[in-house]
Structure 1
Amino acid sequence: MSRILIDLPEAQVEALAMLVEMEHRPRAAVIRDAIEAYISQRRKELGNDVFGLWKGKKIDGLEYQKELRSEW
């Protein structure tokens, strides 16, 4: 596991402290969960969930690409 030093505005530090107290969890665990949620959300927004989209297709992806480009 790596350590990362970040600067947070005082308002975020206070909000984080409230969450830590309410959830009775370590601050690092709350921050890790928040980062994981952010990464997961961004992956969906960026379309990383499309890998393997052609897996069930009966046509080769390269052949499909060549066919489309032949129309140009």
Structure 2
Amino acid sequence: MTRILADLPDEDIKWLDQIAAEQGKSRASVLREAVSAYRAEAPSSGNTDWLEAGFGLWAKYGFNEDGMAYQNRMRDEWVREWDPDYDPAKHGPLTDEKDVTR
């Protein structure tokens, strides 16, 4: 085990001493446990749990459209149908008549 030097405020040292006395442990033992608990909860650089949590997230909330189809519909939103220089939308509108409010 490697030994380290750490500068802590006096209030923190008093608090650590109080916790150590209550638990019947040394200050170093309390610090080791605190670091271990922090490591267990802190995200690591190689952790890919976020990938598992995010995969299929839209489908979980009822959005079951192909990603490319959605992207194409979003692009068609920028087609100016009133301008003769623009081609008409290729993938249909994003909204129905009932969605349009004026």
- Local SS of the residue matching 1:48: coil
What percent identity do the matched residue pairs reach?
34
Partner of 2:7: 7
Structure number with bigger Rg: 2
Alignment of 1:31-50 (within 5 A): 31-43=31-43, 48=47, 50=49
**Runs of 4+ residues deviating >6 angstroms:** none
Shift of 1:40: 1.1
TM score, norm. by length of structure 2: 0.44
Partner of 1:29: 29
> Are the structure 2 counterparts of residues 17 and 49 from structure 1 closer, same or farther at C-alpha, using a change threshold of 3 Å?
farther
Shift of 1:49: 5.5
Give unpaired runs (5+ residues) of structure 1.
54-72
Question: How far apart in 2 are the matches of 1:49 and 1:13?
Answer: 36
Question: How far apart in 2 are the matches of 1:49 and 1:33?
Answer: 25
Per-residue CA shift, 1:15-55, capped at 9, x if unaligned?
001001100011111100000111111127x67253xx6xx
8 Å Cα contact 1:43/1:49 also seen in 2: no
Number of equivalences? 53
